A and B are shown apart, each in its own frame.
Chain A
């Protein structure tokens, strides 16, 4: 059973569960079905796929602009990058996750955070999008042309963008998690916690035994950081080493092949 990354429901969830009826009754709703629906779309490790051509790509000007806009919003304390990852890679759902361009999801994530945190209204955004579309020139190039420059002093910003200055992230969380529970060489097991809304602990690691390879740092859990919770206590992180043969039934490589991932203390328990 090493993991359920190949679960039948997950493979059917793109674009939709192929059932005759597109409504469902709560009785007999299987646990495996619930897990499939809750699985984060970004968590693709181990899913079966056929070989594809590995391509390079030229970057569009708007892709660079979008990347920079998202990073500048974090620089100025409007969100953290973990909020961006949740909004762009998980909250969009499976269909949009696979159907939209990579930086398209970044642009939608930034749009959503500004509306949800009440920096702009959705009405304003809709009007501006319509107005910008009118402006395109013959060659299609667009430039940003703000009408005014706003007063930034009254803007609500997070603590992180100020508290991390001169320290870095995760260094800004150092010394807040107490003593680490595990040490290098300790056998650990990834806990079988439910997935609800957001995590960075991959499903393919759940329940698998590994060994601590490095005690990494302290930081706020991504499950908290992704929801702008700055009030919570940081936790220790560890790089954990797994045997491939423990991860995958019928592993097609060689014994001795390994995989490492970096996990929070919340997701680890001692193993024998």
Chain B
């Protein structure tokens, strides 16, 4: 965008600080849209605030809890595999009633399917068409999950792409890629790793990272966070945004 603003844009000659930090066209567009939508009665400012509160608290902790409990309790595991929404409620996430809509989150729908790994079968989730992801129980999707690169390649070269994530699957393990292209959302239930005998649910939940539940990593004793990756910083991040290393 050019100099459509009327403010004194003298930064070019270097004499008049302060620099005005460039606002992106998308920031401006969103503000304009939201104001018009409120003025036309499409929704209220309170609706927006209310939904933001719900969206901001989403994260992967309840999903990790679901996996840990399934490892410990065969009855709960059966529930997770046959009625994942009921199992979600047991760990504090009600897909239907938690979002302010009363009908679930519009983009995530109200259906979860848990994919059970075995010693000879490994699942990995992608949405080749956009970024469908079980947000209500796993939080917002990571940037790499949305990239065309991941979406193009994981369905065709899954073992190679998993290896790039540091996950080398042996010959005895089959790969099953789940292309999440419709209204079901998917969560991987990994195999409980050796070395966790006698652990509590809290201890187990610690090692169930977001990456494990997408299927690009395996849980390991002592590993309680996603691998360190380059992080693209935001110009004006969400207030209170956690650094990546704190997102489990």
Contact = CB atoms under 8 A, between A and B. Distances in A.
A175 interface: no
A142 B103 contact: no
B77 interface: no
B183 A169 contact: yes
Interface in B95-109: 95-96, 99-107, 109
Contacts of B130: 42, 85, 89
A102 B146 contact: yes
Contact of B40 (A47, A132, A155, A200): A155
Nearest to A137: B20
Nearest to B52: A68
B168 interface: no
A148 B42 CA distance: 12
Interface string A36-51: 0000101111111101
Nearest to A155: B41
Given A61-B236, A130-B4, A237-B182, A43 B37 contact: no
A28 interface: no
Given A55-B232, A58-B231, A132 B183 contact: no
Nearest to A102: B146
A166 to B, nearest CB: 6
Nearest to A85: B130
Contacts of B128: 43-45, 202, 204
A146 B38 contact: yes
A252 B38 contact: no
B91 interface: no
A56 B51 contact: no
Contacts of A76: 42-43, 47
Contact of A54 (B39, B100, B144): B144
Give the interface size class of chain A. 35 or more
A260 B177 contact: yes
A253 B159 contact: yes
B119 interface: no
Contacts of B23: 133, 136, 140, 142
Interface in B220-236: 226, 229-236
A96 interface: no
Given A43-B129, A55-B144, A155-B41, A62 B232 contact: no
B182 A150 contact: no
A262 B143 contact: no
A172 interface: yes
Contacts, number: 361
Contact of A202 (B27, B36, B129, B165): B129
A124 B33 CA distance: 10
Contact of A56 (B4, B7, B102, B142): B142
B174 A125 contact: no
A75 B231 CA distance: 32
Interface stretch (B66-74, B149-157, B187-195): B149-157
Interface in A132-168: 132-134, 136, 138-155, 161, 164-168
Interface string A166-178: 1111111000000
The residue among B95, B96, B164, B165 with the most chain A CB atoms within 10 A of its own CB is: B96
A204 B152 CA distance: 11
B32 A74 contact: no
Contact of B143 (A40, A57, A146, A148): A57
Contact of A49 (B33, B110, B152): B152
A21 interface: no
A212 interface: no
B109 A145 contact: no
B175 interface: yes
Contact of B51 (A75, A78, A145, A261): A75
Interface of A: 40, 42-49, 51-76, 78, 80-81, 84-85, 89, 98, 101-104, 107-108, 110-111, 114, 119-120, 124-125, 128-134, 136, 138-155, 161, 164-172, 200-202, 204, 214, 216-217, 219, 222, 237, 239, 241, 244, 247-248, 251-254, 256-264
Q: Which 6 A-B pairs have the closest CB atoms?
A: A150-B41, A168-B110, A74-B106, A45-B128, A164-B103, A57-B143
Interface of B: 1, 4-7, 18, 20-45, 47-48, 51-52, 55-56, 95-96, 99-107, 109-111, 113, 126, 128-131, 140, 142-144, 146-153, 155-161, 164-165, 171, 174-184, 226, 229-239, 241, 244, 247
Given A114-B42, A147-B35, 4 more contacts: A43-B128, A51-B161, A71-B107, A219-B183
17 contacts: A54-B229, A56-B144, A56-B247, A58-B238, A60-B237, A61-B238, A68-B51, A75-B106, A129-B28, A134-B6, A136-B5, A140-B21, A166-B102, A168-B110, A168-B111, A204-B155, A261-B178
